[in-house]
């Protein structure tokens, strides 16, 4: 029994889900997303609720059952409300600014780091030290956020770097000094 795979997915008004043998297409007010489907999994929409069922109880299909249900649920949420991630730049002189479609970061290097904004994800600079990454695909929003964070990960001594909004950075004590 798959606890995640057996959960129902509420389908809001304006969203259509199309099950094909190899793909699942979710169309909503914000856009269209396509997810993979596997042989042995079927979906039925009744009374505004989507239920995904599997043909048998083989181990491989049980794992894919939960995966497909999560992917379709994320697509339904993404095409209706979307996903967003907040990043904070912490450190003296660390800042970001938007120049056309590019985001330019000053992170204490001898050069500026430039990010070309992806087509399917929007990067907004709310403040010079605060970024909002948003889009309809949860995986892409997380991937772009991780790429930006990788420019300068938070270091453990002073906490300088790029971090997620609710991320807690474990701090280390510096040198204790010499004991004579």
DSSP assignment string, 62-83: HHHHHHHHHHHHHHHHHHHT-E
**How far does Cα 3 stand from its chain's mean position?**
23
Quickly count helices (H) and strands (E) in the chain: 2, 13
CA angle centred on 74, ends 167 and 124, rounded to 5°: 50
Q: What is the mean pLDDT of residues 69-94?
A: 95
| Token pair of 145 as six digits | 């956020």
Task: Give the C-alpha separation, 119 to 167, whole Å.
Answer: 27
Question: What's the pLDDT at 150?
Answer: 96
Q: For the chain, give every domain's residue range.
A: 9-80, 83-164
Q: pLDDT class for 176, splitting at 50, 70, 90?
A: confident
Residue with tokens 């280390």: 172
Q: What is the mean pLDDT of residues 18-24?
A: 91
pLDDT in tens, 123-162: 999 999 999 999 999 999 999 999 999 999 999 999 999 9
pLDDT in tens, 47-81: 999 999 999 989 999 889 999 999 999 999 999 99
Identical fold, 9-80 and 83-164: yes
DSSP assignment string, 93-127: T-EEEEETTEEEEE-SSSS-EEEEPPSSEEEEEEE
CATH classification (class only), 9-80: alpha beta
Supply the pTM of this predicted model. Answer: 0.88
Q: What CATH architecture applies to the domain 83-164?
A: Alpha-Beta Complex (3.90)
Which of 88-102, 122-136, 165-179 has the weakest average pLDDT?
A: 165-179
């Amino acid at each position: 029994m798959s606890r995640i795979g057996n959960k129902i997915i509420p389908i809001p008004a304006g969203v259509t889900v199309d099950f094909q043998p190899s793909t699942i297409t979710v169309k909503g007010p914000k856009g269209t997303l396509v997810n993979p489907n596997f042989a042995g999994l079927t979906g039925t929409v009744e009374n505004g609720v989507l239920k995904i069922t599997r043909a048998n109880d083989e181990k491989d299909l049980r794992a894919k059952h939960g995966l497909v249900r999560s992917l379709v649920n994320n697509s339904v949420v993404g095409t209706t409300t979307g996903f967003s991630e907040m990043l904070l730049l912490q450190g003296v002189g660390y800042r970001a600014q938007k120049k056309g479609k590019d985001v330019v970061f000053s992170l204490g290097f001898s050069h500026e780091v430039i990010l070309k904004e992806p087509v399917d994800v929007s990067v907004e600079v709310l403040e010079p030290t605060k970024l909002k990454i948003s889009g309809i695909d949860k995986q892409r929003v997380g991937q772009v956020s991780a790429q930006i964070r990788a420019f300068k990960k938070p270091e453990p001594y002073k906490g300088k770097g790029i971090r997620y909004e609710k991320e807690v950075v474990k701090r280390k004590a510096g040198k204790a000094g010499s004991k004579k």
